[in-house]
Amino acid sequence: MKFSKFGQKFTRKTGILQLMDDLGNALAGSEPVLMLGGGNPARLPEVNAAYERVMRSLLDSQAAVESVGNYSTPQGDAGLIDALADFLRQEYGWHITRDNIALTNGSQNAFFYLFNLFGGAFEGGDKKILLPLAPEYVGYADAHIDGQHFLSVPPQMEDVQHEGQDGFFKYRVDFETLEHLPEWDTGEIGAICCSRPTNPTGNVLTDEEMARLDALAQRHGIPLIVDNAYGMPFPSIIHTDATLTWHDNMILCFSLSKIGLPGVRTGIVVASAEVVRAISSMNAVINLAPTRFGAAIATPMLRDGSLKQLSQHVIRPFYRKQAAFAANCLKREFAGYPLKIHRPEGAIFLWLWFDGLPVSSQELYEQLKAEGTLIIPGEHFFVGMDTGSLRHARECIRMSIAQDEATLRDGIATIGRVVRGLYDAA
Ligand code: PLP
């Protein structure tokens, strides 16, 4: 069978396909796998119990059948949109109405829309999405309907301490390079986008960095897209003092996935009315309307404050504890070896840098997979960058910290054994 160019592009073996396949196969297979790959959130009993309570009450009140029995408008479930507008006005004082919010089938779906709205072929030439700092979320990489239209800048790296300990580093935006890119003069940049906290590194761009990106976007008349999949106000997996701002040159993307509901595929876009209308139009063509069951669960939990409460008092502390546990295991396994960990400031991953790693991280991934431990190789995350001469890109891996302590401990022990062996043999 012959596929179109579109078909060929979207059926290639992409980084995100490998990641989602590994995740699904590990969950479905009979062989025990230490799953430190994937982006599944942790299953937390207190959080699950809250969802069960809400689902029961939706069933009792007929609201469940009502929500799955009718399409919403292409903009999305009106109940959730109104609850979100009230919540965001109250929480942050933003001037926001229902015209500023659209729902999508997961935020991945929103990024497909946004990257194709602001990147790709324009009259007068192609435009790119600028990622101010790579490594960035691998799920962005293949979102354009034709080709890849990303541009990114290698980060500055700084040795830092974490909770009084050495052995950590932090990426910072290289503004000198960013603000003087030749693509500004040629009008080739269509939007700026960053995840905050960042998948894969757990980096949280500082308020100063965000303000400078915001100013840069405004100066050039393009939007700043901020991916809040792990950020405030839910799931709020963020351990630094960061503030969330919005005005109508910014596009904020939220998701119900990392609060523990990835299966309901619900993404939220907060933007100017013009962008919200564009998202709604794309929803109509591609999905008719976004799914409603996640909206039915989230609406009462936004209204009664339980989503915020669970995020701040259960989900965030859980991942903070996991990060500390995993970092301690890693430090024990790699005493005397050149491992540096990106400072865990948020999200559900640790980003490990093995300086001078004798094999590529892709090869390390294969070796670890053969030993029953799954991680994600680092090079896929350097979206929009030619990593040919960037050795650092092939020396990093991402590991999830969403699993229980035994899985983390055993998975890290495998990583330790295999990587120490590679250094010792070099
Ligand atoms: N953005 C980031 C940074 C992510 O890590 C993910 C999922 O892992 C997504 C967006 C997409 O999530 P979803 O489509 O489940 O909302």
User: Sorting pLDDT into bands at 50, 70 and 90, what band is 320?
Assistant: very high
pLDDT tens digits, 240-289: 999 999 999 999 999 999 999 999 999 999 999 999 999 999 999 999 99
pLDDT at 29 over 80: no
Q: Closest Cα partner for 327 from 338, 340, 337, 316?
A: 340
User: Sorting pLDDT into bands at 50, 70 and 90, what band is 25?
Assistant: confident
pLDDT of 236: 97
Say how many Å lie between the CA of residue 111 and the centre of ligand 1. Answer: 9
Q: Closest Cα partner for 195 from 143, 128, 148, 252?
A: 252
For the Cβ of 137 lying below 6 angstroms from any atom of ligand 1, the answer is yes
DSSP for 219-251 reads HTT--EEEE-TT-TTTT--B-S-------TTEE
Mean pLDDT of 315-335: 98
Mean pLDDT of 212-216: 98
pLDDT of 33: 86
User: Sorting pLDDT into bands at 50, 70 and 90, what band is 20?
Assistant: confident
Lowest mean pLDDT among 38-42, 91-95, 198-202, 409-413: 38-42
Say how many Å lie between the CA of residue 34 and the centre of ligand 1. Answer: 22
Q: What is the CA radius of gyration of the chain?
A: 21
Q: What phi-psi label fits residue 23: left (phi over 0), alpha (psi between -120 and 50 degrees) or beta? A: alpha
For the Cβ of 22 lying below 6 angstroms from any atom of ligand 1, the answer is no
For the Cβ of 255 lying below 6 angstroms from any atom of ligand 1, the answer is yes
For the Cβ of 135 lying below 6 angstroms from any atom of ligand 1, the answer is no
pTM: 0.96
Residue of the CA atom closest to atom 3 of ligand 1: 199
For the Cβ of 108 lying below 6 angstroms from any atom of ligand 1, the answer is yes
Task: Please name every residue paired with 398 in a beta bridge, in sequence order, or none if there are none.
Answer: 351, 376
**Distance separating alpha carbons of residues 382 and 373, to the nearest angstrom:** 23
**Distance separating alpha carbons of residues 394 and 360, to the nearest angstrom:** 5
State the complex-level ipTM. 0.99
Residue of the CA atom closest to atom 11 of ligand 1: 108
Who contacts 120 (Cβ-Cβ below 8 Å, separation ≥6)?
126, 127, 144, 145, 146, 147, 149, 190
Q: Could you identify the atom of ligand 1 that is nearest to the CA of residue 137?
A: 3
For the Cβ of 67 lying below 6 angstroms from any atom of ligand 1, the answer is no
Say how many Å lie between the CA of residue 117 and the centre of ligand 1. Answer: 19
Helix axis angle, 293-303 to 78-92, nearest 10°:
30
For the Cβ of 254 lying below 6 angstroms from any atom of ligand 1, the answer is no
pLDDT of 119: 98
> CA of 358: how far to CAs of 88, 156, 338, 388, in Å?
49, 23, 12, 16
pLDDT at 388 over 80: yes
pLDDT at 334 over 80: yes
Mean pLDDT of 401-425: 97
E strand or H helix at 252 = strand 250-255
User: Sorting pLDDT into bands at 50, 70 and 90, what band is 22?
Assistant: confident
For the Cβ of 199 lying below 6 angstroms from any atom of ligand 1, the answer is yes
Residue of the CA atom closest to atom 5 of ligand 1: 199
For the Cβ of 106 lying below 6 angstroms from any atom of ligand 1, the answer is yes
Say how many Å lie between the CA of residue 275 and the centre of ligand 1. Answer: 20
Q: Could you identify the atom of ligand 1 that is nearest to the CA of residue 110?
A: 14
Say how many Å lie between the CA of residue 193 and the centre of ligand 1. Answer: 14
pLDDT of 31: 73
